Structure 1
């Protein structure tokens, strides 16, 4: 082989290695989890505008993988939420858009952290410090009862339930991650507040707190109302993400399984009845006009299918015909 041919081969091999390396470098941590459209397009758009958010995405995915044996559903949920936040935040300024997206990437960061419970005195003390700091900064003015009853927060059925308090522990973790990623202090505060306020629309969370505490309105110690636009978007994005048809209607879907396992549905009719009622009330909880429009759009897709599951006519109102499901009375 002459020297020229050898040089050509070396160049070709080098080029192939460069292409291969570039391909590996371009593969992001989220690429192995298939995100449907339009969420994938929205995600690509916001990562192009805010490439620094890839760091938060990596942290979210790494944390979720460590917390769960099967992390895909939770990872996709967080990505759907952040994509929705991008779509909903287009009227905000650039920095606010970035914070809205960042908040939704991290909003569930502690949802499966078994040690992150308020029944742990150290965690409760840390959470109290965070809330006190944010209150002094002027947040939660519309929620005077927030953090006003320690007995409710320490109640094992509340403070020991990750589903009910992950917005609190998640806000603490979000603050740590955002600070580590060099977000300014004010932005860290805004993200923590938005995470703290993202769960308030889940009426069955509020009911669960009231039941555990034995009094109505106890939930106000746990769930502050969303006040600023970033918080409202985080709240609505999480809410709307639940309205995905595939998660609600098919047999074995997330919400029909919840109807069976959490709310004791005994057959298909009861599954449809319970899921319908849950979403009928969730639909009314959106805080932003964009959120209300997106919720309405998806509700119109799933509502007729849930009515079919109950064996009712298309024009029949399930609540009027069947009443409120027994589990919620």
Structure 2
């Protein structure tokens, strides 16, 4: 039996409407396609896993659709089928990975290929991924054809480092910067995927996935894929997610915060020992503790509307955090966050992180 493909490949968007968190890019592109005011060269830049290459493929699909150029590809013509998710790829849409084909000879080869007319479709489209890896000699060899391409040629450069694309090329492109996806749309998207995959998820798990993904859709889907692979019949439970992703269990953080509120140093030091004995990274624990203090400051500032900022935190956890925030008080919370932040910065490269952790707890 063949193994299923990765989540991020199975759910790769086929239209601009399916791309999440990049409306500032997809809407102007759809308007340009609707008005048939498409440029000959584009530069898509932004962090990894945010949809640059996917959007380049969708743009190619929109341009070469039989009903195109159109913002909504028909999905049934040969070009749309070939360029869809899992499609065979089109002879007229050439993807080049500049990480391995960024030299001057590769650029000359591309220049020669660009002189030939498309095999079947309206345009011959070159998608150049990792464009910052093209050498300056390579860019100079491309300059003339990017500056004055034949009518049938379109270029789409995708890069995480637009500053490394030489200015003469950059000035001839329409530049669209992609951004990391905010937690709210990303969380809603992950919830939809879990429903589609029939995998139940315990409260609090998806907020850990979003945090681990750091705003990159691809990274978040890779993390979710890993959790789904290790999930039992009951779905993904919180303890599994915490253990696999290396975060600190909420119950342990609760113990520490409750002990700080009560001035109970014995419980705090027992919790520190538990962190070490269970093989947790002390620095990660301090980072999680700092995040908890930040959450408590928000809960104290917005007692009735904290869930609008702390998305994905289970209701019972929020209720407990309200009690903690009230018992510690605003001044003490702020001081605890400052002390924890200072300890976190000191732990970078420290030879004895446990010592720093114990000194932090003492303070």
Q: Which has the higher helix share?
A: 1
TM-score normalised by structure 2 residue count = 0.26
TM-score (norm 1): 0.28
Of structures 1 and 2, the larger Rg is shown by: 2
* Larger strand percent: 2
